Structure 1
Amino acid sequence: MTEMHDEELRCIGCGAIIQTTDPDGLGYTPNSALKKGLETGELYCQRCFRLRHYNEIAPVSLTDDDFLRLLNHIRDAHALIVYVVDIFDFNGSLIPGLHRFVGNDNPVLLVGNKEDVLPRSLRRRKLTDWLRQQANLAGLRPIDTLLVSAKKNHQIDQLLAEIEKHRADRDVYVVGVTNVGKSTLINAIIKQQTGVQDLITTSRFPGTTLDKIEIPLDDGHKLVDTPGIIHQEQMAHVLSAKDLKIVAPQKEIKPRTFQLNDSQTIFLGGVARFDYVKGPHAGIVAYFENSLPLHRTKLANADEFYKKHCGDLLTPPTSDEMADFPPLERHEFAIKEKSDLVFEGLGWITVPAGTTVAGWAPKGVDVLVRRAMI
């Protein structure tokens, strides 16, 4: 905690001492949120804020030993593993080393969440195949891959049928990193099975990081909700909760088309950037949260434009959040076929073949290329 107060400040949600230095630690809140909390008298740590406003359960103080203990517990269990990922942030959803810890006899069912915000024109089968291929590259061989929306209750019946089909006298472990909607999915499953809404509440989450929630199944086995594992290379850990609502897709994405010449740039607020480096005059289509402002400018002026306008014209982040915002890193690609340039956690831009493009994202957040989904 920065030494700006004589007495300790505590989160009114959980009682943790507020601190602004360790994003993984108890009581963490960004400087911008601390200032606002002091002004309003409602001072919440980031974990409680996200829990209250987004129903996101964020674990804290996860040490390497804790992490290994959790993974070993999964390996020693006789279970079906339901692995929940964010379809907008697959790499950020990866649990490092999970394939080594699920055990040879524990099947993995891969579940891509947030299907409801995909454009209707996107071919779901294409995306399902891509998710499975990405999982294979990470060393996982899922027995099946499903797309669901925990928030909208889409495909929950199908998920339950797949769980029953594959669990074969096993427990069911639901695993995932933070911010993929895992707890919302658990609540959707419980509601579907029992009619009880929002059974998992804040009171069910004691302060210990590795406590898990066990929900009994009819045959004596249990559904186990494991704590979300923090993965720092996520857009969710770069932005404040307020900004996340602006950049993370919330409703069905409406495509936005730009006619570009080469050497033009599009800024995605101030959080990312797309450069059309080389190619013919062409229409490119952007798929991002509808409220995320997109600004076009010349590539030659882009660096200076960003320095001058990030925090005001280019937001988020806002000017008072700039000090904590990481620099943007450039990723260049030569596009051989019609492709999507994916900004993990944000969305994607569909670009034509025979072009050179670059994507800029906060340090640690992935930018990658896949075959066009639309």
Structure 2
Amino acid sequence: MSDNNQAEDSLQCIGCGAFIQTQNPNELGYTPNSALKKAQELDNDIYCQRCFRLRHYNEIAPVSLTDDDFLKLLNKIRDSESLIVYVVDIFDFNGSVIPGLHRFVGDNEVLLVGNKEDLLPQSLKRRKLKDWLRQRANEQGIRPIDVALVSAKTNRSVDGLLSKIDDYRQGKDVYVVGVTNVGKSTLINQIIRQNTGIQELITTSKFPGTTLDQININLDDGSKIVDTPGIIHKEQMAHYLKGKDLKIVEPQKQIKPKVYQLNPEQTLFFGGVGRFDYVQGNAKHGFTVYVENNLLIHRTKLANADNFYEKHFGELLTPPDASYIDDFPKLVRYEFKTTEKSDLVIEGLGWITVPEDIVIAGWAPKGVSVLIRKSMI
């Protein structure tokens, strides 16, 4: 092995944690040899090409790490003695659940963190929201020691979270876990910023799959915070959208709920990425929609909905934009009959709060989950 390769073996990308290599552009950690030498000469932080492009051009590159690779990394948690900080996206709770997390936790305590709290209306009582999150976690077999609400993006309540972490860890290591795109690396960045003053140490992006290997952050008492890779949740809407369309679908600021008075056999389209049908009921009802404020919503008759979609998909009904409509998955229908006030959830898009005792249907791109749950609000 050359001296150059030996040097590379000891280097990790400061953004994603992947080991730096200069041989294969299609593998993790690749950076051009010239860029590596320049960074070393100037004593600059070293980023792989993928993270460099992500930071400077907001471009994402596909990665070759498999789901099994992610799960193997998380397996280390089971045998550790640590505090688990489990980060979920409040706006997309179901899409941010780690399937079978209880198998990775072992005997370790879990602090549940609901991120993106700033997106929800202030009218929603935060104590009620915490109870709702705890109940949903219990359904997944997780019994959190506490629930914290934060906004990593705005730094809201991060101080309080740090206090909770310090109280509960009792000198132990801390593992931060979550699926891709829940804002986990943004949260870690805030923690680092408050502890060290370093800005943007970990690469952040709206695109899934940014942290490629665990990153250790040393604490004063000799223990550490470990930022683990996000598990890829293939049912997330973000995996099917490109470029600026993500910003049209993923909420950018506090959601303004919209109420639609619908008669039976009426339909709402959410751009071209989702659809809601009021199929059957005894009366006109109000349906409250929680989606990104700038996403265009169109109402039509159920009988005309299929033709309306076929005619306007990629134009009036956008996103997706016309550049990739041929590759965009077809919408798949899921029907439900409600027995209580409920949310019909299209993962990664939002939800519609609906009354009891009606028949409804939700449509989402093939591969994206649609489900019914007890109403959050």
> What TM bracket, shorter-length normalisation?
0.7 to 0.9
Deviates more, 1:234-243 or 1:92-101: 92-101
Aligned-pair CA distance for 1:26: 6.7
Alignment of 1:188-267 (within 5 A): 188-201=190-203, 211-267=213-269
Pair 241,161 (structure 1): closer, same or farther in 2 beyond 3 Å = same
1:190-222 deviation digits (Å, cap 9, x = unpaired): 2223333323348xxxx9975321111111111
Q: 1:107 to 1:72 in 2, by over 3 A?
A: same
Partner of residue 364, structure 1? 367
Residue aligned with 2:289, SS: strand
Residue 110 to residue 209, structure 1, CA distance change in 2 (3 Å): closer
Where does residue 276 of structure 2 map in the other structure?
Answer: 274
Deviation readout 1:256-298 (Å, 9 max, x if unpaired): 1212111000000000000011221122221111100000000
Which residue in the other structure is 1:163 paired with?
165
Q: Which residue of 2 aligns with 1:324?
A: 327
Distance 1:305 1:210, change over 3 A: closer
Partner of 1:338: 341
| Structure 1 unaligned residues grouped into runs of 5+ | 1-13, 19-24, 28-44
Q: Give percent identity, aligned residues only.
A: 67
What does residue 307 of structure 2 align with?
A: 304
Residue 61 of structure 1 contacts residue 209 of structure 1 at CA under 8 Å; is this kept in 2?
no
Cα distance in 1 for partners of 2:332, 2:52 equals 31
- Counterpart amino acid of residue 156 in structure 1: V
Deviation at 1:46, TM superposition (A): 8.8
**Residues 116-148 of structure 1: CA distance to partner in whole angstroms, max 9, x if unpaired?**
011112232333222222222222221112211
Alignment of 1:14-25 (within 5 A): none
Distance verdict in 2 for CA 1:271–1:50, change over 3 Å: farther
Counterpart in the other structure of 1:32: none
Query: If the length of structure 2 is used for normalisation, what is the TM-score?
Result: 0.81
Report the AA paired with residue 269 of structure 2.
F
Q: Give the 3 Å change call, closer, same or farther, for CA 49–359 of structure 1 in structure 2.
A: farther
Q: Distance in 2 between matches of 1:218 and 1:58?
A: 35
Q: How many angstroms apart in 2 are the aligned matches of 1:136 and 1:65?
A: 25
Q: Distance in 2 between matches of 1:317 and 1:59?
A: 20
In the alignment, does 2:134 pair up with 1:132? yes
Q: Which runs of 5+ in 2 are unaligned?
A: 1-19, 30-48
Distance 2:232 2:125 in 1: 30
Q: Report the Cα distance in structure 2 between the residues aligned to 1:209 and 1:217, rounded to whole angstroms.
A: 20
Contact 2:236 2:368 in 1 (8 A): yes
CA contact (8 A) 2:235 2:367 kept: yes
Aligned AA (2:112): L
- Deviation of the 1:240 alpha carbon: 0.9
The reply on whether 1:185 has 2:187 as its aligned counterpart is: yes
Shift of residue 302, structure 1, vs aligned partner: 0.6
Q: Distance in 2 between matches of 1:152 and 1:338?
A: 32
SS of residue in 2 equivalent to 1:291: coil
Q: How far is 1:331 from its partner?
A: 1.6
2:58, 2:177 → 1: CA distance? Answer: 19
Inter-partner Cα distance in structure 2 for 1:274 and 1:48: 40
Mapped to 2, the partners of 1:54 and 1:113 lie a distance apart of: 22
The amino acid of 1:253's aligned partner reads I
* Structure-to-structure mapping, 1:32-71, within 5 angstroms: 52=56, 60-71=63-74
Residue 285 (1) aligns with residue 262 (2): no
CA root-mean-square deviation: 2.8
The equivalent of 2:4 in structure 1 is none
- CA drift of 1:81 comes to 0.9
Q: Which position in structure 2 is the counterpart of 1:11?
A: none
Please state whether the residue corresponding to 1:152 is helix, strand or coil: coil
The one-letter code of the counterpart of 1:126 is: K
Q: Which runs of 4+ in 1 moved over 3 A?
A: 14-18, 45-55, 207-210
- Separation in 1, partners of 2:302, 2:336: 16
CA offset at residue 94 of structure 1? 2.2
- Look up the SS of the partner of 1:189 in the other structure: helix
CA–CA distance in structure 2, aligned partners of residues 142 and 66 of structure 1: 26
- Quote how far apart the aligned CAs of 1:107 are: 1.0
Q: Is the 8 A contact 1:173 1:224 kept in 2?
A: yes
Q: Which amino acid aligns with 1:160?
A: L
1:59/1:229 contact within 8 Å kept: no
Equivalent residue for 1:42?
none
Alpha-carbon distance in 1 for matches of 2:255, 2:235: 23
> Hey, what's the Cα distance between the residues in 2 that align with 1:335 and 1:88?
21
CA offset at residue 97 of structure 1?
Answer: 2.6
